[in-house]
Amino acid sequence: MTDQNKKANPNYDDTLFTSIPLAKIKPDEPLPADVFLKIHNKHIKFKEKNDTIPSEKFDALISKNLQFIYVAQEDSSQFLHWIEAVRAKRIAELVEILGVEYQEEVEAVEEIKERVYETFLAEELNQELVEKLQNNVTDFVSSVSEKETTIDFLTLLRMENPSIADHSVNVANLSVYLAMVLGHDHQSVLENIYMGALFHDYGKAKIPRDILENRKSNIYSQAINDHPLKGAERIRNLYSIPMPVLTIIEQHHEQFNGKGFPRGLANKQIYELAQIVSIANTFDNQATINARHYGDQTMYKLALKFLEYDRGKHFDPQLIQRLTTSLRLALKC
């Protein structure tokens, strides 16, 4: 298409569209207007009004480092109002259940989710973005540890059918609770486990979708085996990331029996905080699978049974017994 033809085509006219950070969009919510992607300087319709962007599509966009969607200029005000309304509704619903004393924590988690999306969607990690996320985590961890937050609070914050970014927040919330159950109460330790959990699947998030969708291929197996090291490698150069966070990311798929990856570590070779994140990761994955067929109590009960039946394969049996006993009592299942 010639430059003259491009000028005559409104889809090439940037003044007719407004960019919207994808990080501000909640998956699976009906959209208030048509949404466009910008491809080769042309705005291509991606979703129509009342369509949704499913969680799996978010994961595809994360793997492609797509940070913005676009709406027609005349729809921009309505669209931005919708974003704020969805966020406010989510916060109000949770505060109504939990009580106004948790308003600050609920708002903090929503902000962390948005920061995680921004971080995952960026083509390259940058110090400023990660430091903002760290500041959010510091405030949230300080608040939940001071209030001795219950598992009820954290399970209510859990996102169902989550994208990889939402899953990471689910795992982080549960990991910090499990760490406190085990007696970890130092601020830096709790921050490290929270950050490690947030980034545990960062390497997986950046695997191209065509590889992830071809599970029988050798390339897929290699990419999955490498994602803990690849994820840690991507953030290693950020001076604000402590070594324990990198260790959690690298070791979250190691197994107690030595049959995990990427290094085949076993028993006490595996960092305790990495084991905690691994347990939280497995619990959230199992809860997500079971949520498709059962209610809350049953899905958590089945997720706990999955952990309890492990019998020293993936997890330290002493660690898993302490944590599943605590979770069973807390979740009343």
Q: Is residue 181 part of a domain?
A: yes
Whole-number Å distance between alpha carbons of 89 and 239: 37
The token duo for 305 is: 């049974």
CA 174 to chain centre: 12
The pLDDT of 98-114, averaged and rounded, is: 90
In a domain? residue 88 = no
| Residue pointed to by tokens 């994208």 | 163
Which one of 83, 118, 133 terminates a domain?
83
Does residue 62 sit in the same domain as residue 171? no
Give yes or no for residue 150 having a pLDDT over 70.
Answer: no
Q: Are residues 136 and 46 in the same domain?
A: no
Please tell me whether residues 145 and 255 are part of one structural domain.
yes
Among residues 58, 83, 108, which one ends one of the domains?
83
Same domain? For 38 and 136 the reply is: no
Going by pLDDT thresholds of 50, 70 and 90, the confidence category of residue 155 is confident
Of 232, 194, 202, 174, nearest to 112 by C-alpha is: 194
Predicted structure pTM score: 0.92
Count: domains in the chain: 2
Q: What is the pLDDT of residue 77?
A: 97
* Residue 89 belongs to a domain: no
Q: Model confidence at 162, in pLDDT bands (50, 70, 90)?
A: confident
Burial 33-71 (b: 16+ CB within 10 A, else e): bbbbbbeeeebeebbeeeeebebebbbbbbbeebbebbb
Which of 83, 113, 132 is the C-terminal boundary of a domain? 83
User: What is the average pLDDT score of the chain?
Assistant: 90
- Give the Å distances, CA to CA, from 172 to 125, 137, 155, 159, 226: 19, 10, 12, 12, 21
Residues 123 and 65: beta-carbon distance below 8 Å: yes
Mark whether 287 and 153 lie in a shared domain.
yes
Distance between CA atoms of residues 171 and 154, nearest Å? 10
Same domain, 235 and 297: yes
Identity (one letter) of the amino acid at 253?
H
Q: For residue 92, is it within any domain?
A: no
Residue 107 structural domain: 100-331
Reported as a single tens digit per residue, the pLDDT across 165-218 is 899 999 999 999 999 999 999 999 999 999 999 999 999 999 999 999 999 999
Helix (H, G, I), strand (E, B) or coil at 33: coil
pLDDT at residue 160 is higher than 80? no
C-alpha to C-alpha distance for 233 and 18, rounded to whole angstroms: 35
Instruction: Report the run of H or E that residue 19 belongs to, with start and end.
Output: strand 17-21
Residues 177, 45 share a domain = no
Residues 53 and 176 both lie in one domain:
no
Q: Please tell me the least confidently modeled range out of 136-145, 175-184, 253-262, 288-297.
A: 288-297
User: 70 pairs with which residues across the strands?
Assistant: 19, 36
DSSP, collapsed to helix, strand or coil, labels residue 60 as: helix
106 part of a folded domain = yes
- In terms of phi and psi (left: phi > 0; alpha: psi -120 to 50; beta: otherwise), the region of 40 is left
Give the CATH number for residue 214: 1.10.3210.10
